[in-house]
Chains A and B, each alone.
Chain A
Amino acid sequence: GAGVSQSPSNKVTEKGKDVELRCDPISGHTALYWYRQSLGQGLEFLIYFQGNSAPDKSGLPSDRFSAERTGGSVSTLTIQRTQQEDSAVYLCASSLMSYLDYYNEQFFGPGTRLTVL
Chain B
Amino acid sequence: ELKVEQNPLFLSMQEGKNYTIYCNYSTTSDRLYWYRQDPGKSLESLFVLLSNGAVKQEGRLMASLDTKARLSTLHITAAVHDLSATYFCAVDSFASGTYKYIFGTGTRLKVLA
Tell whether A pairs with B. yes
* Chain A residues near B (Cβ < 8 Å): 33, 35, 42-43, 45, 48, 55-56, 58-59, 91, 93, 99-100, 102-111
Which secondary structure dominates where chain A touches chain B? loop
Q: Which residue of A lies closest to B99 (CB)?
A: A99
B41: chain A residues at CB < 8 Å are 110
Given A42-B105, A42-B106, do A110 and B42 touch, yes or no (CB 8 Å)?
A: yes
Which residues of B sit under 8 angstroms from A59, Cβ to Cβ?
100
Q: B residues near A, CB below 8 A? A: 31, 33, 35, 41-45, 48, 50, 88, 90, 92, 94, 97-103, 105-106
Beyond A43-B106, A99-B94, A104-B92, 8 additional pairs, beta carbon < 8 A? A33-B101, A48-B99, A59-B100, A100-B94, A102-B31, A105-B48, A106-B101, A108-B43
A-B contact list, 9 entries, CB within 8 Å: A43-B103, A45-B101, A45-B103, A55-B99, A104-B31, A104-B48, A105-B45, A105-B48, A108-B43
